[in-house]
Amino acid sequence: MPRHKCRRATSYQPLITRFMPKGGVQEESVTLIPEEIEALYLMDLLDLYQEEAAAKMEVSRPTFARIIKTARQKVALALLCGHQLHLEVKRDRYVVAFCCDEKERYEHLHPKGKYIVIVTVNEQKIENLLCLNNPAHAKEMKPPLLLTPIFQEHGVNFFLTASLGAGLKSTLASGGIQVIMKESISEEEIPKLF
């Protein structure tokens, strides 16, 4: 009888979930499961060592090594053999952040807003709503230096904004945080984003 599979902690939520090769399309496709996506995110995007990545996923280092090897083989099949690539995503829990000038009304979203609002959504319900003072609002420092570390500390998956500079876009992308262009949002809309 096989062993019971341990739970793997995953946090990364890709916005794009299907990739198709241009030109001749293979009938076959490969699917990356959430733990494989998380392994690629931690090791190849955040550039963590296997020990660190395994600890974040709450698995042993040998288990992590097997997960990352399988994930990379699937990506290689898609890239080198022209297979379609599907990313299996569970959107039952995700974290959204945005910056705005008022605590109750989420309008005119922009990186230098007075407040940072971080919302954790679990099974299409708001689990936690945190409002922080935005250090980029008062200081002359640029948002890429201040916002990305705060978002990573709180496990943010998606950043909503109406405007975005190239520097912030780049640092968010390198941190695995997806950008969704949006002028405003209501508290009722947040759990229905996906």
pLDDT digits (tens, 9 = 90+) for 51-72: 999 998 999 999 999 999 999 9
- What is the per-residue pLDDT for 137? 85
Domains of the chain plus CATH, in order, are 18-87 (1.10.10), 93-192 (3.30.420.130)
- What is the per-residue pLDDT for 115? 94
- Distance between CA atoms of residues 95 and 11, nearest Å: 9
Cα dist. 45→42, 103, 172 in Å? Answer: 6, 33, 11
- What is the per-residue pLDDT for 124? 86
pLDDT at 7 over 90: no
Sign of CA dihedral 191, 104, 108, 167: negative
Cα dist. 52→7, 38, 39, 59 in Å? Answer: 17, 13, 11, 10
Give 155-179 pLDDT, tens digit per residue: 898 999 999 888 888 889 888 888 9
Two structure tokens written together for 86 = 């599907």
Two structure tokens written together for 62 = 């040998």
Output the pTM of the full model: 0.76
- What is the per-residue pLDDT for 30? 92
**Buried b or exposed e, range 112-127, using 16+ CB within 10 angstroms:** bbebbbbbbbeeeeee
- What is the per-residue pLDDT for 2? 54
- What is the per-residue pLDDT for 102? 92
